[in-house]
Amino acid sequence: MTRARRPHRLTRKISGQTYLWLAMLIFGASSAVTRKLTEIGAQHFIGDRNPISLCNVLFVGNLCALIVLILIYWRQWNRATLKQLSKKDWLSLTAVAILSGALAPGLIFQALALTKVNNVILVGRLEPPLTLALSVWLLKERVSLWEFLGAIAAFVGVTLTIILQPPEAAMMNMGGLQLGLGELLVAAGSLAVAVSTILGKKYLSQISLGIYSIFRTALGTVIFFCIALILYGRDHFADVLSPFLWQWMFLYGGLIVVLGQSFWIKGLKTSSVSVASLISSFTPIAGILAAYLILGEAPTLAQYVGGSVILIGIFFSQVGILRQMNRKVASAGVELTPAEQQVETGMGFKGI
Using one digit for the tens of pLDDT, what is the confidence trace for 23-50? Answer: 899 999 999 999 999 999 999 998 888 9
Tell me the pTM. 0.84
List pLDDT tens digits, range 51-73.
Answer: 998 889 888 888 888 888 888 88
Q: How far is CA 46 from CA 49, 237, 250, 267, in A?
A: 5, 12, 19, 41
List pLDDT tens digits, range 84-122.
Answer: 999 999 999 999 999 988 999 999 999 998 899 999 999
The domain segmentation of the chain, as residue ranges, is 2-345
Residue 352 has pLDDT above 70, yes or no: no
Average pLDDT across the chain, whole number: 83
pLDDT given at position 178: 60
List pLDDT tens digits, range 141-197.
Answer: 888 888 899 999 999 999 999 888 877 655 665 555 567 888 999 999 999 999 998
pLDDT given at position 280: 83
Mean pLDDT value across residues 74-85: 90
pLDDT given at position 15: 61
Least confident of 60-69, 76-85, 213-222: 60-69
